[in-house]
Amino acid sequence: MSRWRTSMTSENIGSLPGFPTQFFQRSDPQPDELFYDEPRYVTHIDDATIAALTDLYREIIPPGSRVLDLMSSWVSHLPTDVTYERVSGLGMNEQELASNPQLNDYVVHNLNERPEMPLLNDTFDFVINSVSVQYLTRPTEVFACVRRVLKPGGVSIVAFSHRLFPTKAVAVWQQLNRDDRARLVASYHVLAGGFNEPIFLDRSPEDADPLWAVIAKKVEGVVPDCTSRTV
């Protein structure tokens, strides 16, 4: 297991107002609802890498946890032999979400249009994002809301690989190597505020798609600055 601590802390980037707008431009500027209108019952990493991701979730997320699968689809990659108190999904295609057997409930929601999630404060022990972070055009706002819906001490797990939809992945993601992508995801948490220093894990299996993860824990005592919701 490879473990790396990012050098991005509130001291060296927390004062920045954000990123240049062009970082988050995409070659397909049409609304995401059009792109995700039809369900895609496919996986975006190969079987060995899916197994590695499931093992990572098994290691980090204990039974009985409340989990939000952010940017969810028809699969969540959570272990099927572990019982969780609640697994909620937030994604773009209702047919995919309805087909996901691990979800107890779900909401169709476009985070690029509305980073604020229709979910209560301090609800989840874990928020997972599996191979989708590259599509966020307002990531700092989204991760501020991830922090809001996490319980104190809750954990954000962002897993990513090297595959993507090139027309929908943001420009900056497509220009970076692995380590810089990890630092970018770490910076989303740092700029959102209220997270401990993120860590990086390399769980790439041999002869398969790579698997990397950035993990950050919500600092206890942080007051949410997003509007509370009722779901």
Per-residue pLDDT tens over the stretch 9-25: 333 333 334 677 788 88
Q: Is residue 97 a part of any domain in this protein?
A: no
Q: Quick check: is 84 in a domain? A: no
Residue 40 has pLDDT above 80, yes or no: no
Q: What is the domain-level CATH number for residue 186?
A: 3.40.50
Sheet-wide strand order for 124-130:
2-5, 199-202, 212-217, 150-160, 124-130, 66-72, 86-91, 105-108
Number of domains in the chain: 1
pLDDT tens figures, 96-114? 999 999 999 999 999 999 9
Query: How far apart are the two ends of the chain, measured CA to CA in Å?
Result: 37
Where do the H-state alpha helices sit in 100-177? Answer: 139-149, 171-175
pLDDT of 229 over the 70 cut: no
d(CA 140, CA 117): 13
Residue 227: inside a domain, yes or no? Answer: no
Supply the pTM of this predicted model. 0.87
Q: Region 142-162: what's the mean pLDDT?
A: 96
| 27 belongs to a structural domain | yes
**Whole domain around residue 211: which residue ranges?**
2-65+108-217
Domain-embedded: residue 96? no
Predicted confidence (pLDDT) per residue in 60-83, tens digit: 999 999 999 999 999 999 999 999
- pLDDT top residue among 41 and 19: 19
Which is higher by pLDDT, 226 or 214? 214
On whether residue 113 sits in a domain, the answer given is: yes
Mean pLDDT of 46-64: 97
